[in-house]
Amino acid sequence: MRMSEHELKESLYPWIEKEDIEVFNTLIGEERREEEGLELVPSENYVSRAVREANGSVFTNKYSEGYPGKRYYGGQDFTDAVERIAIARAKTLFNCEYANVQPLSGAPANVAMYFALLEPGDTILGMDLSHGGHLTHGHPVTALAKIFRFVRYKMKNIETGEIDFDELRATALREKPKMILVGFSAYSRELEYAKFVEIAREVGAITVADMAHIAGLIAGKVARNPFDDGFDVITTTTHKTLRGPRGGMILTRENEEYAKKIDKSVFPGLQGGPHMHLIAGKAIAFKEAATPQFQKYTQQILKNAKAMEDVFRREGVRMIGGGTSNHLILADVYGSLGVGGKESQAVLDEVGLSLNMNSIADDTRSPMDPSGIRFGTPAMTTRNMKEKEATRVAELMIETLRNKDDANKKAEIKSEIKEICLAHPVPDSFIN
């Protein structure tokens, strides 16, 4: 049930209210925004109450440089215990031999992985950002591009999302990469991991999968695990579809040498003390993700994404990759509706729908005002919304963009979005 304003303020953050009313007001504002609006950013989600409690727990007080049993400070009995729990659960969840749960987020995890397994100047073959890749996969604006040599592969067919494996193989044979990297931030199809492994073995490259966006789908067994197809290393965030605290993780299938190098790269190579309150939250999230309820949850994520895809196809809105096989959709709103990505993001935010502007493949517009929007269904599904709600939200998205200058229409849509959201509050947990 929805809490009244009085109940909301009485039940949350009592000490912050006493000590810092300015910060308290921002927290209450965000609580209300998340209650009355809907997160459609595919990299965002709502964590359980248990994870939130861990984030604010006593573990935030403790410095724990090093690893369990090998710390540089005393008083580590319980930090060692909680990190060992997180490691054991991560290994079971993703079917691998080694796990480092200390990375502070996804980008630091990737940086640590590069420095562990490569030498400066080594070549990495990764997905082009404009075709769905990620900044940390070698975009020229990043510091990583000054240290390592990145070459890129793309989709062969933008309308189907098919990767050009012939060109990828030719590039690998020509450039002799030390690493072949897969993963994405805006790619809506499942990757054919076995083909990457085949090419990597031909040229003697390490295989790394950045699964930040779909780690939860892998844990829920609705997406393939790259380890099952022979990948060496996985990097990931622990939030997004995994529905844990904001953080990162590096997993190694079976290579102990890689695992030792990764541990040294994370600490002392790049990070100081791990955030033990977040590691406690990760441990909880991994337990949640191992449940039958989580598997049903991830199945519904895909069903909801397909329901939204159906609406966008019916309404003639072009989707990069032709639709979705995972949790996200990248839509060409400028080409289909004549509204740029930046304006679309702002207009949808006005009615209570949060998503992000995003470049599309071979976009002719600026990254600061691209042609596309990126949205997804993890947070919606956390709120127990099903295909009916996903369909209606997609219809309202398009209706909003087609009536972007009609204040009365937008007010009606905002009211309906609020009604849908209040009827589907964020649950404390989906574990009974």
- What tokens were used for 8? 């909301």
**SS3 call for 421:** helix
Distance CA 225, CA 127 (A): 19
Catalytic residue among 240, 282, 374, 404: 240
- Residues, the chain: 432
Before 268, cis peptide (omega within 30)?
yes
What angle, 0 to 180 degrees and rounded to 10, lies between the N-to-C axes of helices 292-314 and 387-402?
40
63 is catalytic: yes
**Cβ-Cβ contacts under 8 Å for 380 (sequence gap 6 or more):** 38, 39, 40, 304, 389, 390, 393
192 is catalytic: no
Query: What CA–CA distances, in Å, run from 19 to 25, 30, 311, 357?
Result: 12, 18, 48, 37
199: left (phi over 0), alpha (psi -120 to 50) or beta: alpha
List, edge to edge, every strand of the sheet that includes 123-127. Answer: 98-100, 248-252, 233-237, 206-210, 179-183, 123-127, 149-153
Question: Do the Cβ atoms of 226 and 193 come closer than 8 Å?
Answer: yes
Catalytic residue among 34, 39, 128, 210: 210
Q: Look at the block and give the residue holding tokens 């012939």.
A: 166
Distance CA 216, CA 281 (A): 15
- What tokens were used for 171? 């590039």
246 is catalytic: yes
Catalytic residue among 17, 31, 36, 65: 65
Catalytic residue among 246, 306, 365, 386: 246
Distance CA 207, CA 200 (A): 7
Nearest alpha carbon to residue 415 among 394, 400, 401: 400
237 is catalytic: yes
User: Angle 186-426-298 (CA atoms, 0-180°, nearest 5)?
Assistant: 45
Catalytic residue among 9, 46, 62, 63: 63
240 is catalytic: yes
Catalytic positions, please? 63, 65, 210, 237, 240, 246
